[in-house]
Amino acid sequence: MTSARPVPVPDDASKPYWDAAAEHVLTAARCSRCAAFSLPPDVVCARCGATDPAWVFEALSGGGTVRSWTVARQSFLPGFEDDLPFVLVDIELDDQPDLRLIGRLMDGPDAALQVGDRVHVTFEDLAPGVSVPAFVLS
């Protein structure tokens, strides 16, 4: 018997992100000082250096471009055994240059995938009220 996949455990800083994901909405934290997005938000804005960025979570378009990927053929964490093999993609999101997110490619390990391919967000429902962003080829 395989174990269940791990689920995110939100903290105060990430709760708005995970609440939106549960509703199948991709968000990112926007710095209230310089308007740059950050995934995940940090205590300091990476763009302007503000130590009080007053992050506000906003919905993103969900579109992006494949920068790279890897095919996982072995599970190093419990709960992923039944999903092997699977593809993890590194996506540059359309909403801001260098705004990147890594997620599972739902098209599977046999998808014809190339750097520069277009994707859009979808969501994997892991448990009631718990969803994680993933991607499908556009």
Quote the pTM value: 0.92
Q: How far is CA 42 from CA 3, 19, 30, 92, in A?
A: 32, 18, 11, 19
Whether 96 shows a pLDDT value over 60: the answer reads: yes
Two tokens, residue 133? 């962003």
Q: Could you tell me the pLDDT band of residue 2, with boundaries at 50, 70 and 90?
A: low
Q: What is the mean pLDDT of residues 19-33?
A: 98
Q: Could you tell me the pLDDT band of residue 64, with boundaries at 50, 70 and 90?
A: very high
Helix (DSSP H) and strand (DSSP E) numbers for the chain? 1, 8
Q: Would the CA dihedral through 76, 67, 130, 109 be positive or negative?
A: negative
Range(s) of the domain holding residue 125: 61-138
3-state secondary structure of 7: coil
> What is the radius of gyration, based on Cα positions, of the chain?
16
Asked if 47 and 34 count as a contact pair (C-beta separation under 8 A), the reply is yes
Whether 92 shows a pLDDT value over 70: the answer reads: yes
**Closest alpha carbon to 8 in 48, 40, 52:** 40
Residue 3 counted as domain residue: no
Whether 106 shows a pLDDT value over 60: the answer reads: yes
For 41-61, the pLDDT digits (tens) are 999 999 999 999 999 999 999
Two tokens, residue 27? 């968000």
Give the pLDDT confidence score for residue 43 in this predicted structure: 93
Residue 94 counted as domain residue: yes
Residue 2 counted as domain residue: no
Q: What is the mean pLDDT of residues 59-67?
A: 98
Is 17 in the same domain as 73? no
Give the pLDDT confidence score for residue 76 in this predicted structure: 87
Residue 1 counted as domain residue: no
DSSP state of 22: H
How many domains does the structure of the chain reveal?
Answer: 2
Is 86 in the same domain as 54? no
Place of tokens 């039944």: 82
Rounded to the nearest integer, the mean pLDDT of the chain is 95
Whether 1 shows a pLDDT value over 80: the answer reads: no
**Closest alpha carbon to 39 in 113, 100, 104:** 100
16 sits in which H/E element = helix 15-22
